[in-house]
Structures are given as C-alpha cells and as structure tokens.
C-alpha cells in the first residue's frame, strides 16, 4: 500500500514520516501525522493499554504549521444556530502553502484567556483542522492603547439583542428570523445529511437570497425554472437541473427530516432515536404530523430517549412549542414534502434495535456514511470507539486499532460479507 510501510528500525520510521510530511498536501484528505504500530497482532494484544491508549501503537504527528501575523480587526459571524463566532482578520500570511487571512477566535472566553486585541502580533496555526486559529499573542510587541475586545450586544446582522445563556460559552442572536441565521439554516436544510439537494450549495443559496427569491427554507420548494434563469451562472440546463433536484428531494426519511430542522443540541445520531419513538406511536406521513407527535411528549418522555439529557430535551421541546416552527412545518406540508414510511423495513428495524456498531477499515460496497445510514435506519447505533457496550465491530480492508481492542475485550467481530447479510444488503452488480 502506498501510504503504509513496514519499517525495520527507527530510522526508517523517521524517513517514512518525512516522506508523508512532504506529500501530505497532495493527499485526498487532510492528515496531521502518521500512526506507528507494531506489526504483530499477538504482540499488540500482549502490550495492552494505558488508559485508552494502546502501547502497541503511537501517533507520530507533524508539527502544526504556524506563522506570525498581525490582527487587523475582529469581526463577528453569525452561524446556523444563531451563535456568534468572533473571527480575526489578520494580515495575509503564507502557512504551509496556503494564504491565511482569517483565524477563528472561537468565543469570548477564548479571547479573554489568550487576551487577543486588535493590533496584536500573534502566532497563527493551521493544524489538522481546516480553520486556522490564533495560538498566542506576542505581548511584547503590543502597541500602546489597545482595548480589550467585547462581544457586541446587538447582532451584527440584524441588530437584535445578543444573549449569552447560562452554562453556554457562546453568545446567541435572539432574533429567530435573523438573516444570517436564516441563511445558515437553509444551507443546513439542503445539506447532504438533510434534504441533500444536489447542486444547492452555500454560494447558490446566497445568490437566491440576495436575488430575493428565497427568504426561508420552504421557498426552495416554490422555485420555478423561470425564477432561476435570469440569475448569473444559471443557464437553462442548470436551472432545470436544480428544479429537478429539489423535486427529487421532496420524499425524505424521518431521521433526515428531523436533522434538517437543525434543532440545537440534537445530533445526527439522536434523530434516529427520536424518529423511532415518533413512528412507534404515530403515523407520520407529512411534516405537520410531527406536531401531534411532539405535543404528546412530556419532558420526561424526551429524557427517555438515548443521548437526550436535560439540555437537549428542553431544546427540542421548545423548538416544537415555537409558533414560527409550527408554521414552518405546516408550510412544508403544503409545499408537498412527504415523509417516507418505515414500514417496509419494520421487521429489520427490530433486528438491530439497540445494537451498537463500530466500523473500522474500508468497506468495498458502502462508503462509511452509507454503512452508518444503514445501521441507523435499521434501529442500530453507531459509535466511534470500542467498549464493553459494543455489540459488533465491522471490519473492512486495513482495520485499525479498534479491531485489536475488539479482539482484546471479546466483542463480536464481523467482516463485510457478514455485515451485508446482517443488514440484508444486496450489492448492486
């Protein structure tokens, strides 16, 4: 294999590390180092673990790429949940072959802790993460008369009040219709794990909003070819392609639909559990059917769902109580959204209900995401780490450390063929 090597001594490991470090920019994904592992499974198991870390393998990371620059300004961006994120505009600087002119400051606590001010000379880092960040301020170089940064009290987009809620690090815009909030919501709504509308990315969403064609997610389903054609970048063909993609997305599974709503604290795993509870007690064929399903849930009922704690229970309950959201669901129903019935796979659902899977290695007939979708759609749960609670570890080509851990603690290990049988998946062709 191109990106793995059997090394005989430390020197060879260092050479391989340098080689990968040199070619890392050309790899299809971002990496922050290599893993050095003993190549005997028996030895690996015998070496055991220190806490969670196996003694038989170690991460050998590349140094984070850093550069010095100056903070020219701090602006505040508004995200999908209405959270305000401060971002430093820095003097453009080359870090590892990329020109960086922005660095995230995460939140107010982070800025206080690092004491970052406009005019400061700072060390900026680009690590495995794509978003560069400010690591440290070089205080000796600080100009006179700098001021501490404060989060704005009003939303930079819509000027509504900004509130930092108890127990949260983030500040939130209180206007539920805030333009930026709405835009981020739409982008999330059509994204891959939600409505998955082909060809409707961030840029096009921005263009449609700027063109006054949409102001909320429902408007997407009301677009016509004639609306789109006059827009820049939209020839007749691409306009009809987008309309077709929108129409194709109108039939959606309940978990995906729940995820598309972007309810704060409700993640992509939890939506499957909520969907099961909803569908067990209700017939859900259209978005507005969720209202009745949710109204039948007391706070305690939410808490009963796996991975839902008091904060997420409150979040989801108040989402469904909000008049704007209730209208939103009704309008989605009017625009023809259909929620798929899970009946066809009801028998299988019981089969994997409550089972926890861990995936390791590459599968040949699924992408990682597809395999996860499969498991979740059959009632199973996907976890990223192996523990006593794991029911199955599915191994593909080149399985990683999870495989060894599973062997060690005696979790059932199945290969791809067995997995396909389990989920009754027939490979195409």
Q: How far is the CB of 178 from Zn ion (least distance, A)?
A: 3
Sign of CA dihedral 67, 68, 72, 74: positive
Q: 178, 274, 284, 332: which one contacts Zn ion (CB under 5 A)? A: 178
Q: Any residues with CB less than 8 A from the CB of 193 and at least 6 apart, and which?
A: 256, 259, 268
Q: 134, 173, 242, 378: which one contacts Zn ion (CB under 5 A)? A: 173
Residue 63 vs 206, nearer CB to Zn ion: 206
Q: How far is the CB of 328 from Zn ion (least distance, A)?
A: 18
Q: How far is the CB of 426 from Zn ion (least distance, A)?
A: 49
Residue 127 vs 157, nearer CB to Zn ion: 157
Residue 84 vs 359, nearer CB to Zn ion: 84
| Contact in structure between 313 and 303 (CB atoms under 8 Å) | yes
Secondary structure in 3-state letters for 297-354: CCHHHHHCCCCCCHHHHHHHHHHHHCHHHHHHHHHHHHCCCEECCCHHHHHHHHHHCC
Helix residue ranges per DSSP H, 142-235? 179-189, 202-210, 225-228
Site for Zn ion contains 395 (CB under 5 A): no
Cα 92 to Cα 52, 72, 104: the distances in Å are: 40, 10, 14
**Degrees to nearest 5, angle at CA 250 with 249 and 251:** 95
Residue 36 vs 158, nearer CB to Zn ion: 158
Residue 155 vs 274, nearer CB to Zn ion: 155
Site for Zn ion contains 157 (CB under 5 A): yes
End-to-end CA distance of the chain: 26
Site for Zn ion contains 162 (CB under 5 A): no
194/208 Cα distance (integer angstroms)? 19
Residue 178 vs 375, nearer CB to Zn ion: 178
Q: How far is the CB of 154 from Zn ion (least distance, A)?
A: 8
- The interaxial angle of helices 416-423 and 368-377, nearest 10 deg, is 40
Site for Zn ion contains 105 (CB under 5 A): no
Stretch that binds Zn ion, among 10-18, 90-98, 151-159, 234-242 (CB under 5 A): 151-159
Site for Zn ion contains 200 (CB under 5 A): no
Residue 30 vs 174, nearer CB to Zn ion: 174
| Contact in structure between 19 and 381 (CB atoms under 8 Å) | no
Site for Zn ion contains 90 (CB under 5 A): no
Q: 175, 249, 325, 381: which one contacts Zn ion (CB under 5 A)? A: 175
Stretch that binds Zn ion, among 38-46, 178-186, 245-253, 311-319 (CB under 5 A): 178-186
List interacting residues with Zn ion (CB under 5 A).
155, 157-158, 160, 173, 175, 178
């Amino acid at each position: 294999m191109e990106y793995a090597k059997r090394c005989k001594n430390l020197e060879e490991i260092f050479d391989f590390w340098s080689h990968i470090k040199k070619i890392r920019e050309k790899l299809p994904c971002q990496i922050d180092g290599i893993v050095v592992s003993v190549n005997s499974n028996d030895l690996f198991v015998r070496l055991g673990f220190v806490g969670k870390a196996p003694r038989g393998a170690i991460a050998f990371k590349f140094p984070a790429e850093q550069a010095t620059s100056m903070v020219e300004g701090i602006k505040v961006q508004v995200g999908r949940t209405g959270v305000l994120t401060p971002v430093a505009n820095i003097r453009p600087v080359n870090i590892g072959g990329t020109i960086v002119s922005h660095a995230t400051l995460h939140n107010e606590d982070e800025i206080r802790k690092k004491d970052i001010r406009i005019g400061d000379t700072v060390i900026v880092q680009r690590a495995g993460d794509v978003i560069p960040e400010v690591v440290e301020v070089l205080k000796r170089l600080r100009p006179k008369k700098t001021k501490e940064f404060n989060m704005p009290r009003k939303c930079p987009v819509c000027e509504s009040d900004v509130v930092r809620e108890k127990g949260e690090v983030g500040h939130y815009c209180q206007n539920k219709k805030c333009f930026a909030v709405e835009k981020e919501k739409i982008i999330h709504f059509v994204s891959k794990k939600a409505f998955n509308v082909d060809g409707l990315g961030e840029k096009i969403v921005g263009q449609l909003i700027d063109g006054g064609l949409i102001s909320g997610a429902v408007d997407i389903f009301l677009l016509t070819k004639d609306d789109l054609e006059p827009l820049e970048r939209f020839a007749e063909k691409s306009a009809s392609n987008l309309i077709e993609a929108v129409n194709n997305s109108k039939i959606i599974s309940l978990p995906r639909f729940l995820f598309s709503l972007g309810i704060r604290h409700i993640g992509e795993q939890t939506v499957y559990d909520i969907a099961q509870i909803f569908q067990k007690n209700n017939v859900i064929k259209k978005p507005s059917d969720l209202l009745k399903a949710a109204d039948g849930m007391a706070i305690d009922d939410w808490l009963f769902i796996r991975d839902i704690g008091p904060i997420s229970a409150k979040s989801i309950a108040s989402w469904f109580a909000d008049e704007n959201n209730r209208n939103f669901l009704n309008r989605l129903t009017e625009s023809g959204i259909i929620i798929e019935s899970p009946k066809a796979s009801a028998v299988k659902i019981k089969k994997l209900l409550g089972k926890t899977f861990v995936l390791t290695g590459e599968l040949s007939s699924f992408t990682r995401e597809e395999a996860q979708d499969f498991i979740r759609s059959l009632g199973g749960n996907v976890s990223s780490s192996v523990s006593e609670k794991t029911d199955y570890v599915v191994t593909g080509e080149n399985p990683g450390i999870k495989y060894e851990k599973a062997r060690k603690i005696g979790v059932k290990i199945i290969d791809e063929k067995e997995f396909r049988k389990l989920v009754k998946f027939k490979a195409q062709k």
